[in-house]
Amino acid sequence: MKEFFKISLAGDLGSGKSTVGAILKERFNAEIVSIGQIQRAMAAELKMDTCEFNKYQETHPEFDKILDTKLADYEPQEGNFIFDSRMA
């Protein structure tokens, strides 16, 4: 059985997440999963920009569960995944 990894890179803007992720992606043939892109897509579905969506989430905690579910969907998948997020 082949072993795969899932890595979470968290940090502030400009902390090097994307740089480290790109290196790991190339070295280990990994897929980068951008939490920011997932959240931007969720905002777009609600016809909001990211600032509006961030504010909206303050009073709608169910979106944390939706994001958690989207991330949990990666658990059974084979392959190397790198999750890029400010806080995930």
**CA pair distance 53, 47, nearest whole angstrom:** 9
Residue 88 — very low, low, confident or very high, per pLDDT cuts 50/70/90? low
**CA pair distance 41, 23, nearest whole angstrom:** 25
Block residue for tokens 């969907």? 73
pLDDT tens sequence across 41-50: 999 999 999 9
**CA pair distance 43, 50, nearest whole angstrom:** 6
pLDDT tens sequence across 1-24: 688 999 999 999 899 999 999 999
Q: Which CATH superfamily is domain 6-85 in?
A: P-loop containing nucleotide triphosphate hydrolases (3.40.50.300)
> Is 80 within 8 Å of 4 (Cβ atoms)?
yes
Domain extents in the chain: 6-85
User: Does pLDDT of 87 surpass 80?
Assistant: no
| pTM for the model | 0.81
Collect all residues with Cβ–Cβ distance below 8 Å to 32 and sequence separation of at least 6.
Answer: 21, 22, 25, 81, 82, 84
